[in-house]
Structure 1
Amino acid sequence: MTRLIVWRHGNTDWNAGGRVQGQTDVPLNDVGRKQAVEAAALLAVLRPDAIVASDLRRAADTAAALAARTGHTVSYDERLRERYFGAWQGLTTAEVAAQRPAEFARWKAGNDVVGGDVETLDDLGKRVADGLQDAARLVPGGLVVVATHGAAARQGVAHLLGWPLEQVRTLRALQNCHWVELTSDGERGWQLAGYNVGVFIDRPVPPAV
């Protein structure tokens, strides 16, 4: 059985400030680095066979915390980057709502096409799912940890599972440094084994943007 851990990166100043990151290369803050170390301690116990990460710093540095514990070298894949948010990137969600209300309403409603050069959910799901599939193929029958981003993780996992958009909206956003666990036995395909797993932190969940 192949196991895949899809791990959201640690906290950043833009997460904390409700600012849309998308593919802007924002680093972890002190909280995020602490989260990565604490989560890595849990994940190392699972004895992963390989680590793959988005090449954006917040995901790469999260993966590095696990690599430091396991001795594995991290592989990087651009397909695991966060959703591209186009004209929204760098704005707070409140600013988006005020300046681009029609687009914001479509995003809040979970529409596939938002506008403002924001990547569609279908395109996001396909590219991330392709990256996840290739990561899993690195060690068939093993455990691979993939460090990625909130919206990317949710949509990529949903695409692997064949879920419609309406079902994806029933999933709560991943907390920083929490993960999804998937398994595949070659007969039934990918199955969801765990969601929003990680070190419990009693604080509001930052938006996956």
Structure 2
Amino acid sequence: MTRLIVWRHGNTDWNAGSRVQGQTDVPLNDLGRQQAVDAAELLIKFKPDAIVASDLQRASDTAAALAALSGLSITFDKRLRERYFGAWQSLTMTEVAERFPAQYAAWKAGQEVGGEVETLEALGARVADALREAAASVPANGTVVVATHGAAARQGVARVLGWSMEQVRTLRALQNCHWIELTHDDDRGWQLATYNVGPFTERPSPPPV
């Protein structure tokens, strides 16, 4: 049985301020760095065989906390980057709602936003390809940990599982430095084992943007 851990990065100042990050390269803040250390101390118990990460520094620095404990090197994959939000990036969600009311309403409803914003279909497809490739890089009974982003994790995992957009809407936002565990074997294929598991967080994370 192959185990795939899909891990959201730690907190950033833009997370804390409900500011849209998308593919902007925002670093972890002090809380995020501590979350990464705390999560790594739990994830090391899975005895990972490989670590793969988005090349954006909030994900790569999160992965580095686990690499330091495991002695593993990190493989970087640009396909694991967060959803591209176009003109939304760097704006607060309040500013998005004011400047792009129709797009914001579509986003709130879980629909495609349009404009420059990457489609959910494209996001899910590219992240799922990266997840499957990461899982194939370890032995049949191995474990790979993939450090990525909130929307990327949710859409990519849903695509791997073959879920519809309606099913994805039933999942709550993945908290900072929490993860999703998937397993795979030849008889049952991909299965969801756990969702939104991680270290204690003193304050709730905003939606993954």
Deviation string, structure 1 residues 42-100 (Cα, Å, up to 9, x no partner): 00111100000000000000000000000000000000000000110000000000010
Shift of the alpha carbon at 1:202? 4.2
Aligned counterparts of 1:159 and 1:140: Cα–Cα separation in 2? 22
Q: Distance in 1 between matches of 2:83 and 2:124?
A: 9
Pairing 1:1-209 to 2, within 5 Å after superposition: 1-111=1-111, 113-141=112-140, 142-209=142-209
- Partner of 1:52: helix, strand, or coil? strand
Q: SS of 2:171's equivalent? A: coil
SS in 2 for 1:14: helix
Cα deviation digits, residues 173-200 of structure 1 (max 9, x gap): 0110000000001222110000001112
In 2, Cα distance between the equivalents of 1:66 and 1:193? 21
Determine the C-alpha separation between the residues in 2 that align with 1:166 and 1:202. 31
Alpha-carbon separation, structure 1, partners of 2:75 and 2:172? 28
d(CA) in 1 for partners of 2:200, 2:4: 21
For residue 154 of structure 1, report the CA deviation from its aligned partner: 0.3
Deviates more, 1:68-77 or 1:138-147: 138-147
Is the Cα contact below 8 Å between 1:10 and 1:35 reproduced in 2?
Answer: yes
Q: Given that residues 24 and 89 in structure 2 are in contact (C-alpha distance below 8 angstroms), is that contact kept between their aligned partners in structure 1?
A: yes
8 A contact 2:2–2:135 mirrored in 1: yes
Name the TM-score, length of structure 2 as normaliser.
0.98
What is the SS of the residue equivalent to 1:125?
helix
Q: CA RMSD in A?
A: 0.7
Which residue type is aligned with residue 33 of structure 1? R
**Runs of at least 5 residues in structure 2 that lack an aligned partner in the other structure:** none
Name segments (4+ residues, structure 1) moved above 2 Å.
202-205
What's the CA shift for 1:116? 2.8
User: TM-score, structure 1 length as denominator?
Assistant: 0.98
C-alpha distance in 1 between matches for 2:76 and 2:22: 17
Q: Distance between the aligned counterparts of 1:140 and 1:191, measured in 2?
A: 18
Give the SS at the match of 1:129.
helix
The one-letter code of the counterpart of 1:67 is: A
1:82 and 1:150 in contact (8 A); partners too = yes
How many residues of Structure 1 are paired with residues of Structure 2 in the alignment?
208
